Amino acid sequence: MQKLYAHQQRFLDKNPDRAMLVWETGTGKTVTACVWRNNERRAHLKALVVAPKAIVEKWKRDLKDWNAEADVISTDAIKKTDLSPYDVLIVDEAQNFASPLFDKNRSQRSSALYSYVRLHTHCHILLLTATPVRSTPFNIHTLACYLRIFWDVQKFRDTFFYLTDMFGRMHWEKRKGWQKMIRPYIEEISDIVLMSDCVDVPVQHHQVEKLKWDNKQEMQLIEKYLEPSAEWHARHRLENGEKKTKKLAEIIDGYRKVIIVCHYRSQIEDYEQHFKDRQVFSLHGSTKDQDEVIRQAREADDCIFIIQASMGAGFDAGEFSVVVFASMSFRYVDYVQMKGRVKRINNLHENTFIHLIGGKCDQAVYDTIQENKDFDVHDYLATQLRLTGANTKDPKERGVIDTEDPRVVSGDIPF
């Protein structure tokens, strides 16, 4: 058994029955949870761990290593699992259960967990997450409910939202600066740890490689008319095409072990074929034995590990020091999780994160994620429309028509 760090021991000395660890990725939440479960106050109680599918087997190994007993199920399995026999619940990647509870967007996962908490008033529950808030203030409101901390829903909504008819319909819009306003609420219900609070963190290098969008790509895009959001996605896919593959080959040629992150499944398949002369491992939603793929990639001396951008939660990949974001997830939490795979408290080293930007769509996603926000295509297009003058009648003045578009120049697009 490994020695506990000071921040782990501090929390375990408190030994709360209900808590949320908002600890940076790689700071030892899993180990802490195993020891917490073993405490004499709950060692005799039946326990359940809920974790992403890819790390269910890892959780089983960690529990065994720390002589802790618990059943382990995947995140989605909670929807069909009878939770009533359990008095201890450990929820890994708790942000996956943080959808708003009191509107139509409540997920089945959240419903299952909330129903359990309401009925089991004396349950012991430990939530683990590095990113408790994703896209809305209500994420932290939901997580608080699981800890049986109930903030008034209407007061909470009025604090963080205002009613508006922006975009032509009445709805609740988040107040500007809500990410800063939410901080005291997170601190009130969480135990917060940054890796820099625990150890000296080596330098983390960040690079951006920009590729030029060319006429060939533009002509492919304008072969047929698409509505704005469909055109955005079509452009984004073209940005992640052949030109990016060539640039990626140049970059990874100098590295023995490298992780490539991809948003699109088709992109993963293309890279599997293109780099088949090297040992390649792939992790995506349809990978059958995800734990085994991760193990093989970690043990290989020379390999390319291609990971779907939404699959970076929970596992260790400290053997890698280079991560290339060929394309990024639209969710900020996925970006944080992916970087955390190679930044582990028990295996710290310098890491290099390289971002490939194929055009303005890639750039928009990258810029939004760097602001610690999720990217939404419709919000982006609405913002662009406002910035270019949505209230003018002339399509060219509104920015809807690109006057440098070959179709406009040739007169193929009627105004």
Element (H, E) at 338: helix 332-340
Secondary structure element (H or E) that encloses residue 290, with its range: helix 290-299
Supply the pLDDT for residue 196.
87
Residue 386 has pLDDT above 80, yes or no: no
Is the model's pTM score more than 0.95?
Answer: no
Q: Which amino acid is at 110?
A: S
Per-residue pLDDT, averaged over 38-64, amounts to: 95
Q: Which of 37-46, 68-77, 390-399 has the lowest mean pLDDT?
A: 390-399
In this prediction, residue 393 has a pLDDT band, given cuts at 50, 70 and 90, of: very low
pLDDT of residue 395: 39
pLDDT digits (tens, 9 = 90+) for 139-197: 999 999 999 999 999 999 999 999 998 777 888 889 988 989 999 999 999 999 998 88
| 188-206 residue pLDDT tens | 999 999 988 888 888 889 9
pLDDT of 392 higher than 80:
no
Instruction: State the pLDDT confidence band at 244, using cuts at 50, 70 and 90.
Output: very high
Residues 369, 331: Cα–Cα separation, whole Å:
7
245-258 per-position pLDDT tens digit:
999 999 998 899 99
Phi, psi angle pair for 90, to nearest 5°: -115, 120
Nearest to 89 by CA among 36, 160, 23: 36
Distance between CA atoms of residues 245 and 239, nearest Å? 10
In one letter, which amino acid is 289?
A: D
Instruction: Say how far apart CA 228 and CA 222 lie, in whole Å.
Output: 12
H/E stretch holding 188: helix 183-189
pLDDT at 389: 60
- DSSP secondary structure code for residue 23 in this structure: E
Region of poorest pLDDT, from 57-61, 248-252, 387-391: 387-391
Coil, helix or strand for 245?
helix
pLDDT at 86 over 70: yes
Domains contained in the chain, CATH given? 6-198 (3.40.50.10810), 204-375 (3.40.50.300)
pLDDT in tens, 273-303: 999 999 999 999 899 899 999 999 999 999 9
1 pLDDT band, cuts 50/70/90, is low
Confidence of residue 404 (pLDDT cuts 50, 70, 90): very low
Q: Which DSSP string corresponds to 197-239?
A: HHSPPPPEEEEEEE----HHHHHHHTTS---HHHHHHHHHHHH
Q: Is the pLDDT of residue 403 over 60?
A: no
Q: Please provide the average confidence, as pLDDT, over all residues in the chain.
A: 89
Predicted local confidence at residue 223, as pLDDT: 80
End-to-end CA distance of the chain: 71
Whether residue 372 has pLDDT greater than 50: yes
For 174, the 3-state DSSP assignment is: strand
Q: What percent of the chain has pLDDT over 90?
A: 70
pLDDT band at 30 (very low <50, low <70, confident <90, very high): very high
CA separation for the pair 70, 347 (Å, rounded): 27
- Please give the average per-residue pLDDT across 11-29, as a whole number: 94
Whether the per-residue pLDDT at 411 is higher than 60: the answer is no
